[in-house]
Chain A
Amino acid sequence: MLELLINPYIQTILKVIFLIFLVVLPSAALLTLMERKWSALIQDRRGPGRANIGKFTFLGIFHILADGMKLALKEDFYPAGTNRFLFTIAPYFGFFSAVTLFALLPITSPLGNFTFQIVDVNIGILMILAYMSFSIYGAVLAGWSTDNKYGMLGAVRASAQMISYEVFLGVSLLGLLVVYNSLRISDIVAGQNEYWFNGLIPKWGILTQPIGFLIFFTAILAEMKRAPFDAPEGESEIVAGFFIEYSGMRFALFFLAEYISLVGMAMLISTLFLGSYHFPWLLDAGFKLGSLPLVELPQWLVVFLRFITFGGKVLFCCWLIISIRWSLPRFKFDQIMKLGWNRLMPLGILNLIITILVTLLF
């Protein structure tokens, strides 16, 4: 029995199951409610809280069940003139690209030989970029196959936006690669637990690459098609954009994929720029601030603290992304393009050059 558990393949499968069913799906489902609740708090409302079982509403948590049930009971509908094959497979692209991201990111530091990361490939960042750009196929196919002009417009906008923002998404990450000198996620994570000034200031990505962080964050927002870059699905102009004709569980797939990728991107931002699971001055052996003596902690406690830290960071990133949605109006399409190509792109290249010069000189 124990031998089975030590088998790396079995371990990986168990990790996948654990991650999908205990982390990805619950957190995405919770976020659908959280976004509504948080936006209500921001706008001085109360938000949903009526769905109940008996007397209990638990802050509206049953709305998740109610929504899911409603979507599951809806008619599975193909509008006239649809390309059925493409229409059917389109939602899975976004879902796939959102979920695969989780395979590459560690949630806490290894406990003995057991890593809390499904795979640690040596080209981690490239793989993440590749999977991320996969989601655009979903948008384009969905918009194209529905034979609807709004869907078509949404698909065109999505692809144009994606093409331009993917470029400096890469550029902003190049600076990070130069600093930590590796494409492997675990190396980048380890690099962020080193310190400047004799153990005082951690070398987190946001401190080594502040401009890179800003550009990356902007590009991530555009990549997820979230406000203020939600022109592909702009409700007030093209109704719902590329998924306008979808209903029932197919729509739910789009909807869920959006929130899964929100969690995924929040994890990505925390992993690459906010020091991943590292709490400042918490080393593998225990707390150590500057030249003060080490406070020793058992390994399981360190791992647990790091897990909490990572959760907190992810929650903060989700909150930030959602708050930005509720504080900014949608950019016009030409403004999106101008911001991308005229401003962020040169800035990203400048940032890269400066980073390279600084790394070479010091």
Chain B
Amino acid sequence: MKVKVVTRDVGFLGKFYLPAVLMGLWLVSRHFFANLLFNKMTVTINYPEVKRPIAKRWRGRHRLTRHENGFIKCVACFLCEEICPANCIHIKSAEMPFDKSVEKYPSVFDIDELRCIFCGLCVEACPKDAIRMDTEIVSLAFTDRKKFDYTRNLLLDEAPDNKHTKYTNVPLPTSIEEALPNSKGVVADDLTN
């Protein structure tokens, strides 16, 4: 076997590791005193109190978007549920009885954030730009598993925090206010029938 012998000439003092030790001490004490006296180089962020700025493209918790008139954008096409590799989106579609401008709307839209791997494929898949991950909510931490199931209205940021229910089949709405809170959608003609 061919062996290449590399000789390192460290000099007489180098054999006692002295120059290296002194250089190391110099570096270490520079950092020590700079940090002790001026707190200059510390890079630690005190996390829960101070949060580091996150990039615009950071994939945080999902949210469902609305039209300008406050209407939910999602048309319950199931593309996101289909593509989700973690199988964590659960949609139930319902016909929109009052509003002719939409065919379907999601009566149930649950995302189990505990199973979600934050891959962002649902966002890519959506044809309506109805689901986004730009809430900048980085850490989801609860003491209860159920709280990770985000329902439709939670994703719309409407329901209070304690209303976590999974797979609740929201019954068909009986009035437009009930169907879509704050809806200003086009009211169907046959509503009066």
Contact = CB atoms under 8 A, between A and B. Distances in A.
Contacts of A42: 28, 31-32, 35
Q: Which secondary structure characterizes the binding site on chain A?
A: helix
A328 B44 contact: no
Counting chain A CB atoms within 10 Å of each CB, the highest count among B17, B18, B27, B46 belongs to: B17
B8 interface: no
A172 to B, nearest CB: 13
Contacts of A46: 42, 44, 46
B29 interface: yes
A38 B42 CA distance: 12
26 contacts: A41-B31, A41-B32, A41-B35, A41-B36, A42-B31, A44-B35, A44-B43, A44-B44, A45-B42, A45-B43, A46-B46, A320-B25, A323-B28, A323-B32, A324-B21, A324-B24, A326-B28, A327-B24, A327-B28, A328-B20, A328-B21, A328-B24, A339-B17, A343-B15, A343-B16, A344-B16
Interface of B: 15-18, 20-21, 24-25, 27-29, 31-32, 35-36, 41-44, 46
Query: What DSSP secondary structure best describes chain B's contact surface?
Result: helix
Contacts of A343: 15-16
Contacts of B35: 41-42, 44
A42 B20 CA distance: 17
A43 interface: yes
A38 B33 CA distance: 10
Contact of B25 (A43, A327, A339): A327
Nearest to B43: A44
A32 to B, nearest CB: 18
Nearest to A49: B46
A158 to B, nearest CB: 21
Contacts of B32: 38, 41-42, 323
A44 B28 contact: no
A70 to B, nearest CB: 22
A185 B161 CA distance: 71
Given A44-B35, A46-B42, A46-B46, A327 B16 contact: no
Ranked nearest first, the 10 interchain pairs of A and B with the lowest CB-CB distance are A327-B24, A327-B28, A41-B35, A46-B44, A44-B41, A323-B28, A41-B32, A42-B32, A45-B44, A42-B28
B29 A323 contact: yes
Interface in A309-339: 320, 323-324, 326-328, 339
Most buried by B among A46, A339, A344, A347: A46
Interface in A160-182: none
A344 B16 CA distance: 8
For B27, B28, B41, which residue has the most chain A Cβ atoms within 10 angstroms?
B28
Contacts of A214: 16, 18
